[in-house]
Amino acid sequence: MTARPSPDDGLSPADLAAKYGLTVSGARPGLSEYVRQLWGRRHFILAFSQAKLTAQYSQAKLGQLWQVATPLLNALVYYLIFGLILGADRGMGKEVYIPFLVTGVFVFTFTQSSVMAGVRAISGNLGLVRALHFPRASLPVSFALQQLQQLLFSMIVLLLVAVAFGSYPSLAWLLVIPALALQFLFNVGLALIMARAGSKTPDLAQLMPFVMRTWMYASGVMFSIPIMLKGKPGWIADALQWNPAAIYMDLMRYALIDGYPRENLPPHVWAVALGWAVLVAVGGFVYFWKAEERYGRG
Amino acid sequence: MADDMNNASEAHIPTVIADGLHIVYRVNGAKTGKGSATSALSRIVRRGDERGVRKVHAVKGVTFTAYRGEAIGLIGSNGSGKSTLLRAIAGLLPAERGKVYTDGQPSLLGVNAALMNDLTGERNVILGGLAMGMSREQIRERYQEIVDFSGINEKGDFITLPMRTYSSGMAARLRFSIAAAKDHDVLMIDEALATGDRKFQKRSEARIRELRKEAGTVFLVSHNNKSIRDTCDRVLWLERGELRMDGPTAEVLKEYEKFTGK
């Protein structure tokens, strides 16, 4: 470097940067700009989720068949334990209880695995975060999307089970679509919240399975909340029924199972489902965005 | 003539400014030598300022200004903070103190982390391209170019096999080919020249020169003094996270070689 005299010589680095319009590297963009950037990465988000999904079973001999076989085996195990051994089907006939149980397991697993994937979305992909630029929210969103695709495979099993136990396709089945859309939105929000928390405290990955299992047993996956809690104070059943996991499960059961009438659902159930989805998705997104520039730090 | 005028006025336009930059890594669970459960528990009970966390001060107060058209080499012994500095310039590692100002978005040459061994080379090309921010159309346009450049298909149809079946050299070549497919404003290369066999090295050196022409400013981290001498006109020498020397390639390399005892 020859020390050529320059009009910039006396300037401090910050002034020099301002003069030539340089910006701080890695600064957090505004919220609307962030949404725009994220939308610009939609192809990456989709491709990444599909890649993860495919990579999961690529070494197995049966390959992608496991996408359907895994949920089917899951349903069988739960039926064996709760249907045959424990007899949790109080107040319901077999033809209602089995689709009831399978729906519950699948719908809850959707939320559960989104949370677990969310915890590791940043902390488990630090290499990626430290190597490339993209809105970090792409990762948790992508993981939630992977779980949605996984659930769509499970839905095949679920529809077969419903038909096998005497609930035939009807217009009500279309309600599955808005119910899933709302739950997906809710899961994305949850994954975003967990991703930020997990990037600061990776220990959450050890803790969350216990939290999730507690949540599962409290949400009436294997039993009907109103019947199980008959005689207990009403607010306990109310609190359990209004929790988002129970709401989304009930909506799906109502849509699919003939013998699961409207009376089993709490009042204003769609409004509550929408409320949870919007609240958690928007809240989670803003919460995640607030720490955007700090995710690379180990 | 007009071109010359442009070059003269562009010569001193800064593209990257680092101002008193400090980078600190935090490593969990490495405070004491013993990682037993009881020592972890006693740390929690004792409550230090940050329990169980050890800090690594990787870059200490580095200040420099890079201008358009420069190719800057980064040298220093292992663990001197070169790669960390590059990541901080790219905005991938948050600064503890100080700031980095850049013109546009500097990018690190490398997509390793986005690729998945269980997927075919074909899908990895697409995934890697998307991860770098290319559009689906851009990837479609360049796909054949990337595959041809990597030379993966020279020994049969390997691009449709999962990447885990590749030899390490083949995988490295594919990674470099994907990474080098995109044009960058400020480009940073971390020892990328040393991959593959002799033939591929020649090809990648040529590609790097091409990228240099298109990019405004290039940073190159390398332990190979020859490749630094060939490509860079200015060198930053880092030692223990501090900027030890900053100047023309020949001068700094002479001091560095004296220091390393070559």
Residue B9 has pLDDT above 50, yes or no: no
From the list A132, A294, A298, the residue facing B132 with the nearest CB is: A132
The token pair that represents A129 in the structure block: 């975060």
Distances (CA, A) of A236 to A103, A214, A233, A272: 23, 15, 6, 17
The mean pLDDT value for B152-157 works out to 82
The whole-angstrom distance between residue A54's C-alpha and the CA centroid of its chain comes to 19
- Write out residues in chain A with pLDDT < 50, as ranges: 1-3
Min CA distance, A64 vs chain B (Å)? 13
d(CA B22, CA B245): 17
The mean pLDDT value for B89-106 works out to 83
CB neighbours of B201 closer than 8 A, spacing ≥ 6? B193, B194, B195
Report strand pairing: B186-190 vs B14-28. unpaired
Residue B2's pLDDT is 40
Residue B8 has pLDDT above 50, yes or no: no
Greatest Cα pair distance, chain B, in angstroms, is 74
Min CA distance, B110 vs chain A (Å)? 7
* pTM recorded for the entire structure: 0.84
pLDDT band at B195; cut points 50, 70, 90:
low
pLDDT band at B192; cut points 50, 70, 90:
low
Percent of chain B residues past pLDDT 70, beyond the cut? 83
Residue B47's pLDDT is 56
d(CA B43, CA A296): 26
d(CA A53, CA A4): 57
Partner-chain contact B102 A21, CB within 8 Å: no
- H or E element at residue A94: helix A94-123
pLDDT band at B3; cut points 50, 70, 90:
very low
The mean pLDDT value for B83-106 works out to 84
Residue B155's pLDDT is 78
C-beta of residue A156 within 8 angstroms of C-beta of residue A252: no
CB neighbours of A259 closer than 8 A, spacing ≥ 6? A92, A93, A95, A96, A166, A167
Partner-chain contact B118 A58, CB within 8 Å: yes
Residue B44's pLDDT is 63
Residue A298's pLDDT is 54
DSSP one-letter code for B31: S
ipTM over 0.85: no
Strand-pair partners of B242: B239
Residue A108's pLDDT is 93
**Segment among A121-135, B1-15, B187-201 with least mean pLDDT:** B1-15
C-beta of residue B56 within 8 angstroms of C-beta of residue B27: yes
Min CA distance, B94 vs chain A (Å)? 6
Partner-chain contact B91 A133, CB within 8 Å: yes
The mean pLDDT value for B12-28 works out to 84
Partner-chain contact B119 A298, CB within 8 Å: no
Measured in degrees and rounded to the nearest 5, phi and psi for residue B259 equal -65, -45
Partner-chain contact B113 A127, CB within 8 Å: yes
From the list B19, B25, B106, the residue facing A13 with the nearest CB is: B19
Partner B, chain A 218-277, Cβ-Cβ below 8 Å: none
Q: Mutating which of A9, A24, A25, A290 best tests the B interface, going by the most B Cβ atoms within 10 A?
A: A25
Contacts with B118 from chain A: Cβ below 8 Å: 54-55, 58-59
pLDDT mean across residues, chain B: 80
